[in-house]
Structure 1
Amino acid sequence: MARRARNSRALLQNFLADRATAEHVARLAVPHGRQVPLLLEVGAGKGALTARLAPRCHELHAHEIDSRLVPKLRTRFGATPQVRVIAGDFMDTRPPRTPFAVAGNVPFSRTADIVDWCLRATNLTDATLLTQLEYARKRTGDYGSWTLLTVRSWPCHDWRLVGRIDRRRFSPVPRVDAGIVRIERRRTPLLEPAALHDWRHLVELGFSGVGGSLHASLRRAHPRRRVDAAFRAARLDPRVLVGEVSPDRWLRLHQELTS
């Protein structure tokens, strides 16, 4: 038992060990009892979440990097026709050419890479991910502050913290609790495609820290009078810290500075 725990930690795996929690996550991944055409599961592990997701999918690709677990998964789901167990690293997967969703209990150390993969996938509809609670809170604005990644992707993706999972629901027990992050691609983006380049440039400039403040950073690309007017329109104090500016206020800044 101790050897298994050590191996799991080496692969950074913390398996869901509570059926009710797995059922709860599955319901969040596929809301309102619907069935999704194609769902990719990141880190199937021992199949706790896989078993709850399978009835909600027409097709489920369960990815597992640990070669020791793959035979057991294939045995467990051999009679479940919609489940396909895929051995290997999820990050090596090419995004499907048809609409699909992602769900999974994400290794904490690989969260950023997996989220980036999801954001780049043009046919992704949504992703429901178990992550370190701190990551989930930072990305969704739950601390009252916002990160560059969230703001930059906001016109096309909605970020929400939809749950918290006590660390004792996992085995081995991690040091921290987990959060459930829901990322949904907007059916109608908040900006036109032609405006997205200017949006990313504006946000990245604002988060650059050049000049010592958001107001000073934006003045590197826009006249002071326009920046002042934009801050007034967005109801922002010129002394505001960049992380304190919500995506909605960023949208108003963008509107004023690029109109």
Structure 2
Amino acid sequence: MPAVPVRSERDRRRRELSQNYLRGAGAAQFLRAVRLDPAGLCLEVGAGNGILTGRLAARCRQLIAYEVDPDAAGQLESRLRDQPNVRVVIGDFLAARPPRQPFEVVGNVPFGRTAPIVDWCLAARSMTAATLITQLEYARKRTGGYGRWSLLTVSTWPEVQWDLLGTIPRTQFRPVPRVDAGILRLARHPEPLIAPGRLGAYRRMVQAGFGGAGGSLLASLRRQYPAAALPAAFQAAGIGSKTVVAFVSPAQWVELFRALERRA
């Protein structure tokens, strides 16, 4: 029986870890989309073979690179030993405690772990921004790319803006995944669009809207708000009376909440 090529074995291990490493052109495209604070802290998730790590480290004060594969992490440490502002952590990024100081997250996210990594970023109060490579479909769903908006995006919009910065063809990865990738950026607003003390009320409104038993957003919110207050608030937010919840943009949700607050 012929020996299994080393390259194929590496590809098998990467697939087991849900890792698809970027190639040169794809890495350059992603790096053009990344904006780091030169005096800041950056956390890299899924550092892999380090194709991004050294160049990210040159753009920030300190870089902490997380890699779950011990072999890849060991090679990364050897490759970056001359960059004193880099620390390689062998382990799961999700097990890390968020720094107290402001920081940014950058990384080629394992597709199978996108949702928990995004949740980690959203929950980290000191995170100022995250620029992540995800499945293109995920990035589009979260940024209104299909003309529809998700509950997660709308719920977090007063604190975090979601943007799709570009598309990376699947051929720019090794091993080649089944789908193309998107560059997703989460940017925390310097100040929330809604007063912190009212964010809970905003999210309850959003939950009520998305939790409606079909029909329009207006019909769903009639359970929570006085019917007389809704038409004028919907008009102020530019939302039609028959608009289905998924087609209401995050900016319209924020304006709708503000209008209802003024009429409370």
Query: CA contact under 8 A between 1:65 and 1:88: conserved in structure 2?
Result: yes
| Other structure's SS at 1:101 match | strand
Within a 5 Å distance, the mapping from 1:108-123 to structure 2 comes to 108-123=111-126
| Distance in 2 separating the partners of 1:41 and 1:252 | 35
| Structure-2 separation of matches of 1:57 and 1:234 | 40
Q: What are the residue-to-residue correspondences of 1:190-205 with 2, within 5 Å?
A: 190-205=193-208
Question: Deviations for 1:147-169, whole angstroms, at most 9, x for unmatched residues?
Answer: 11111111111111111101000
After TM superposition, the score normalised by the length of structure 2 is 0.93
Aligned to 1:30: 35
What corresponds to 1:184 in structure 2? 187
Q: Distance in 2 between matches of 1:84 and 1:132?
A: 27
Counterpart residue number, 1:8: 14
Contact 1:136 1:161 (8 Å CA) reproduced: yes
Residue deviations 1:196-216 (CA, integer Å, cap 9, x gap): 111111111111133643222
Q: State the match for 1:55 in structure 2.
A: 58
**8 Å contact from structure 1 (residues 131, 181) kept in 2:** yes
User: Measured at CA, do residues 183 and 130 of structure 1 come closer, stay the same or move farther in structure 2, by a change above 3 Å?
Assistant: same
| Structure 1 match to 2:4 | none
Partner Cα distance (1:170, 1:255) in 2? 44
3-state SS of the aligned residue for 1:30?
coil
- Give 2:74's aligned residue: 71
8 Å Cα contact 1:104-1:128 kept in structure 2: yes
- What's the secondary structure of 1:56's corresponding residue? coil
Q: Distance in 1 between matches of 2:39 and 2:165?
A: 19
With structure 1 as the length reference, what TM-score do the two structures score? 0.95
| Aligned 8 A contact 1:39 1:61 in 2 | yes
Structure 2: 5+ residue runs without aligned partners?
1-6
- The question of whether the paired residues in 2 share the 8 Å contact of 1:140 and 1:159 is answered with yes
State the Cα deviation string for residues 55-95 of structure 1 (Å, max 9, x = none): 00111000001122111111111111111110000000000
Task: Kindly indicate whether the alpha-carbon contact (under 8 Å) linking 2:21 and 2:175 is maintained by their aligned counterparts in 1.
Answer: yes
Specify which of 129, 137, 140 is matched with residue 137 of structure 1. Answer: 140
3-state SS of paired residue (2:241) = coil
2:225 matches 1:219: no
SS in structure 2 opposite 1:187? coil
Larger mean Cα displacement after TM superposition, 219-228 or 174-183: 219-228
Task: Report the Cα distance in structure 1 between the residues aligned to 2:118 and 2:39, rounded to whole angstroms.
Answer: 20
Number of paired residues? 256
